Amino acid sequence: MSRWVHVNGDWLPEAAAKVSVFDRGFLFADGVYEVTSVLDGKLADFDGHAARLMRSLAALEMPAPCDRDRLLALHREAVARNDLTEGMVYLQVTRGAAERDFAWPEAPEPSVVLFTQARPLVEAPAAQRGLRVITVPDLRWGRRDIKTVQLLYPSMAKMQAKAAGCDDAWMVEAGHVTEGTSNNAWIIAGGRIVTRGLGTEILHGITRAAVLRLADEAGLAIEERAFTPEEAKVADEAFATAATIFVMPVVEIDGVRLGDGTPGPLTRRLRALYIDEMRRSAI
Ligand code: PLP
């Protein structure tokens, strides 16, 4: 079944959706993106994603192609045209087509692309069994707080995980876990929920922020600090967060099972709290 894809103002059948070979997103990975989940046909945490997009664009001195209201309208049109009830909307903004040159064009005309992917999110099979992860060195660039389309290393790390018969990789730098290939990493130890603090070393996850808020409202103890792989392997529970996986249990790290090897009770509670909140607040 063909999807409707948005490219620079037009809605096209996916086979006809194309951008220029001179697009700087294609030539230099000079672009940023957002992935917003769709639940019951509505957008979860849209404003968080829109705000982070603007932040990523500003960090790269890229002009915003439109304002928040127009972005919302585009997202809603993507959902409506594709009859999407559950899944995600992918948005990419690049600096657009220009003669190939390391220096940016002075007056770029950004490319804007949106497409949808239908996928069960609430009843994702992985949420029942939990993820098995490996640790790998974090060899990405130093501005991971900007959500660029420069995803080759995380993609390589994911392939390494698959080759090891696992689901994902947690990346490690200077002895501490930074994050997963496409998610933020968390552990629960001694009743405390631990996730790395914000900085340039990790993406400032929109799901991470929501989970911190919900955990705080539920009166749970939280520590925003870096943790080591060794600490993670003896933790009571672990999980990963991202827009399309919500709160996803992690049950094994480098072949070491956490607890009894099944999703932990606090992780399951946080997942349920998060899904309830997104269902309530989606627009
Ligand atoms: N960290 C990385 C490297 C990611 O790619 C992502 C999502 O794609 C996240 C964290 C989670 O971010 P969010 O919760 O905003 O989806």
Atom of ligand 1 at shortest range from CA of 52: 15
Q: Please tell me whether the overall predicted TM-score, pTM, comes out greater than 0.85 for this model.
A: yes
Report the candidate in 278, 267, 53 with the shortest Cα–Cα distance to residue 149.
Answer: 53
Least confident interval from 1-5, 69-73, 161-165, 196-200 = 1-5
CA distance linking residue 268 with residue 274, whole number of Å = 10
Atom of ligand 1 at shortest range from CA of 48: 15
Q: Is the CB of 182 under 6 A from ligand 1?
A: yes
Q: What is the pLDDT of residues 216-271, one digit of tens each?
A: 999 999 999 999 999 999 999 999 999 999 999 999 999 999 999 999 999 999 99
Q: What is the pLDDT of residues 16-65, one digit of tens each?
A: 999 999 999 999 999 999 999 999 999 999 999 999 999 999 999 999 99
pLDDT value of residue 1: 74
CA distance linking residue 26 with residue 28, whole number of Å = 6
Atom of ligand 1 at shortest range from CA of 209: 14
Q: Is the CB of 208 under 6 A from ligand 1?
A: yes
**Active site residues per annotation:** 147
* Best residue among 49, 138, 184 to mutate for probing ligand 1, ranked by most atoms within 8 Å of CB: 184
Q: What is the DSSP string of 87-124?
A: EEEEEEEE--B--S-SSPPSS---EEEEEEEE--STT-
Token pair of 224, please?
Answer: 């925003």
Q: Is the CB of 56 under 6 A from ligand 1?
A: no
For ligand 1, atom 4: residue with the closest CA: 182
Q: What percent of the chain has pLDDT over 70?
A: 100
Q: What percent of the chain has pLDDT over 90?
A: 100
Mean pLDDT of the chain: 97
Q: Residue 225: what residue type? A: R
CA distance linking residue 50 with residue 43, whole number of Å = 11
pLDDT value of residue 109: 93
Q: What domains can you pick out in the chain, each with its CATH number? A: 4-118 (3.30.470.10), 125-281 (3.20.10.10)
Q: What is the pLDDT of residues 125-140, one digit of tens each?
A: 999 999 999 999 999 9
Q: Is the CB of 206 under 6 A from ligand 1?
A: yes
